[in-house]
Amino acid sequence: MQYWLFKSETTTWSWDQQVAKGDAGEEWDGVRNYQARNFMREMKVGDRGFFYHSQKERAIVGIVEVIAEAHPDSTTDDDRWECVDIKAVKPVKTPVTLDDIKAEPRLSEMVLVRNSRLSVQPVTAEEWRIVCEMAGVSD
DNA sequence: GCCAACGTTGGC
DNA sequence: GCCAACGTTGGC
């Protein structure tokens, strides 16, 4: 099982909207970046991810799960672009902000810190554990 | 609102 | 195939 981080602007697609989709989930469409797409191609059903709000809020606010592997992005006819489907699992108890992450030396290698522009990123098992601890969630 | 970092495009 | 120009993202 792999861990990931999905980044979204609240005005484009927020955690609340994701939660409203329930177990049916929603496709993570609109990605037009090869690196991000390639990570989505590696995802397997059951993989977990953090849901991160970029721009104003800049915090991890929830846990999501991959429920469908990469398939063509329905928002474009361009067959280069694919996306996975994800569903909200649960909100975090305490949002973990970018500042919190930067203040934690063990998280200094996170892609979120090193390459802030990448919208879909891998998270290591250790990083996952540490962030979950900070967020007050059990897994 | 600014700007640094990064990715993409297109001319050569 | 290189690289300058341009567009976009996201932190500050």
**pLDDT, tens digit (0-9, with 9 covering 90-100), for A114-135:** 998 999 999 999 999 999 999 9
pLDDT at residue A77, rounded to an integer: 82
Angle at A40 between CA A17 and CA A61, to 5 degrees: 35
pLDDT at A139 over 70: no
A38 C-beta less than 7 Å away from strand B: no
Give residue limits of the domains in chain A: 3-135
- Is any atom of nucleic acid chain B found less than 7 Å from the CB of residue A54? no
User: For residues A104 and A15, what is the distance between their CA atoms, to the nearest angstrom?
Assistant: 24
Within 7 Å of a protein beta carbon, the nucleotides of strand C are 8-12
Confirm if A137 and A3 have CB atoms less than 8 A apart: no
User: How far apart are the two ends of chain A, measured CA to CA in Å?
Assistant: 13
Q: How far apart are CA A38 and CA A35, in angstroms?
A: 5
Query: How distant is C1' of C10 from CA of A117, in Å?
Result: 6
pLDDT of residue A138 exceeding 90, the answer is: no
Return residues with beta carbons within 7 A of strand C. A 7, 9, 54-55, 58, 98-99, 102, 112, 116-119
| Domain A3-135: top CATH class | alpha beta
How do residues A105-116 score in pLDDT, each as one tens digit?
A: 999 999 999 998
Write the pLDDT tens digit of every residue in A45-103.
Answer: 999 999 999 999 999 999 999 999 999 998 888 888 999 999 999 999 999 999 999 99
The secondary structure of chain A, three-state, reads CCEEEEEEECCCCCHHHHHHCHHHCEECCCCCCHHHHHHHHHCCCCCEEEEEEECCCCEEEEEEEEEEEEEECCCCCCCCCEEEEEEEEEEEEEEEEHHHHHHCHHHCCCHHHHCCCCCEEEECHHHHHHHHHHHCCCC
Report if CB A76 to strand B is under 7 Å: no
